[in-house]
């Protein structure tokens, strides 16, 4: 694929199908959310002028990415007619741009012992969500280890990520017990009960509320000021959501009413507006509200950037998850520092089929499509020329870049 896109000699030498391939190529990824996100990163790494759009076959447990773009959330059948029907849908599908979000994590290096603060298997290695910055990288700081990565759907922290981590660990230990989607979902629910997600547990210190673990700051608009986000002490899980699908098709943000929009400067959850929705949950019972019409979690904020500054000695660790891939994250002790920051950068192209849950800010049929964001400011962020100069590495994929004006010194 890279040869077709990057070698113009194919067309100039008279290759009859080179142009057609470049113009009409569409990719299909079969797997869960982690697999789909991995492929998005691979395509981004190729740095193509017009990367091919991607359709997703829901073969995972949650299938949030496929569901967001109209491809369903149940594992499909594989008979000949079903495959033909799916390929026909892919052919007719429309392209839709979605925001990509990037993470930088910095933590103090230990004075003694191994230089790697996190065991490699603790990180979502298949997704390459975090990749250690090299010693020569401009982001590297003496005395600190810096990691970076990105996601397209969500980042979450707290009890929901802990249950997901236990599920993935159990599946790794006993893969023969995870044969189909229904069994997987049943096991997931049982682990939620066991881990105390339905009721606060005194035996699980990592189930502390988010406010105990970290101070949260947000920047609402590009170029704005950082401000502290007050997290209610009842919130034990926080989700930074880009797409309208979480935990198997639920929409934690919903669509805020007119009064909410006016009072709190909120908008509908568009997937290409440069904003990420920040939602909190008290427990799994709170999450069940999403099953009701117009149900939603605790809407905390919409932001262009969000930063978590972890309190020293609050807990030994917490759990984090991006696009279905969880890990156990050590937290600071004594004079240690752990900071995680999420920021918007660019966009990727997905294929959407009806009924598509995702809404574009540029789609006239979308609710509240007239955003109050400054169009010129948003367009300047997406101007390719402005990104080409002074770019620095920002993520595990080479595509994760950020401009010189982004100050990362505060992470020290």
Identify the top-confidence range among 84-93, 157-166, 280-289: 84-93
pLDDT tens, position by position, 223-238: 899 999 999 988 988 9
3-state SS of the chain? Answer: CHHHHHCCHHHHCCCCCHHHHHHHCCEEEEECHHHHHHHHHHHHHCCCCCCCCEEEEECCCCCHHHHHCCCCCCCCCCCHHHHHHHHHHHHHCEEEEEEEEEEEEEEECCCCCCCCCCCHHHCCCCCCCCEECCCCCCCCCCCEEEEEEEECCEEEEEHHHHHHHHHHHHHHHCHHHCCCHHHHHHHHHHHHHHCCCCCCCCCCHHHCCHHHHEEEEEECCCCCCCEEECCCCCCCEEEEECCCCECCCECCCCCCCHHHHHHHCCCCCCCCCCCEEEEEECCHHHHHHHHCCCCCCEEEEEECEEEEEECCCCCCEEEEEECCEEEEEECCCCCCCEEEEEEEEEEEEEEECCCCCCCCCCCCCCCCCCCCCCHHHHHHHCCHHHHHCCCEECCCCCCCEECCCCCCHHHC
pLDDT value at position 186? 61
Task: Supply the pTM of this predicted model.
Answer: 0.74
Q: What is the mean pLDDT of residues 128-139?
A: 57
Length of the chain: 412
pLDDT value at position 192? 52
Between CA 215 and CA 194 the distance in angstroms is 28
Task: Give the confidence band of 377 by pLDDT, cuts at 50, 70, 90.
Answer: very low
Q: Given a cut of 60, is residue 353 above it in pLDDT?
A: yes
CB atoms within 10 A of CB 328: 18
Q: What is the mean pLDDT of residues 305-330?
A: 86
Q: Given a cut of 90, is residue 386 above it in pLDDT?
A: no
- Domain ranges for the chain: 2-99, 100-347+381-411
Which of 4-18, 125-139, 239-253, 383-397 is predicted with the least confidence, judged by mean pLDDT?
383-397
pLDDT tens, position by position, 232-285: 988 988 999 999 988 777 788 887 777 767 777 788 789 999 999 999 988 665
**Beta bridge partners of residue 340, listed in sequence order:** 105, 308
Q: In this prediction, what percent of the chain has a pLDDT beyond 70?
A: 63
Q: What is the mean pLDDT of residues 368-388?
A: 35
Q: What is the mean pLDDT of residues 289-307?
A: 79
């Amino acid at each position: 694929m890279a040869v077709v896109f990057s070698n113009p000699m194919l067309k100039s030498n008279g290759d009859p199908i080179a142009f057609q391939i470049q113009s009409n190529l569409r990719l299909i990824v079969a797997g869960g959310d982690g697999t789909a996100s991995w492929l998005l990163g691979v395509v981004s790494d190729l740095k193509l002028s017009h990367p091919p759009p991607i359709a997703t076959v829901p073969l995972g447990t949650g299938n949030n990415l496929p569901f967001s773009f109209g491809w369903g959330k149940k594992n499909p059948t594989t008979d000949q007619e079903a495959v033909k029907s799916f390929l026909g849908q892919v052919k007719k599908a429309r392209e839709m741009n979605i925001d990509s979000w990037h993470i930088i994590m910095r933590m103090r290096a230990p004075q003694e012992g191994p230089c790697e603060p996190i065991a490699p298997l603790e990180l979502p290695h298949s997704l390459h969500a975090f990749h250690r910055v090299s010693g020569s990288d401009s982001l590297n700081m003496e005395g600190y280890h810096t990691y970076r990565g990105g996601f397209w759907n969500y980042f979450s922290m707290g009890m929901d990520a802990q249950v997901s981590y236990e599920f993935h660990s159990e599946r790794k230990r006993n893969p023969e017990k995870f044969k189909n989607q229904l069994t997987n979902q049943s096991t997931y629910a049982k682990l939620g009960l066991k881990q105390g997600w339905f009721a606060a547990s005194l035996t699980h210190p990592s189930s502390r509320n988010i406010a105990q673990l970290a101070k949260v700051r947000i920047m609402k608009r590009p170029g704005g000021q950082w401000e502290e986000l007050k997290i209610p002490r009842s919130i034990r899980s926080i989700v930074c959501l880009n797409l309208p699908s979480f935990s198997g098709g639920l929409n934690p943000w919903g669509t805020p009413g007119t009064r909410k929009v006016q009072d709190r400067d909120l908008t509908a959850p568009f997937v290409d507006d440069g904003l990420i929705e920040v939602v909190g949950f008290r427990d799994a019972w709170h999450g069940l509200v999403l099953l009701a019409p117009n149900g939603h979690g605790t809407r905390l904020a919409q932001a262009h950037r969000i930063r978590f500054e972890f309190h020293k000695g609050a807990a030994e660790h917490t759990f984090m998850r991006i696009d279905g891939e969880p890990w156990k994250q050590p937290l600071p002790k004594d004079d240690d520092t752990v900071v995680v920051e999420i920021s918007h950068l660019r966009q990727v192209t997905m294929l959407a089929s009806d009924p598509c849950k995702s809404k574009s800010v540029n789609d006239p049929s979308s609710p509240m499509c007239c955003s109050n964001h400054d169009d010129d400011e948003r367009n300047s962020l997406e101007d390719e020329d402005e990104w080409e100069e002074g770019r620095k590495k920002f993520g595990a994929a080479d595509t994760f870049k950020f401009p010189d004006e982004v100050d990362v010194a505060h992470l020290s």
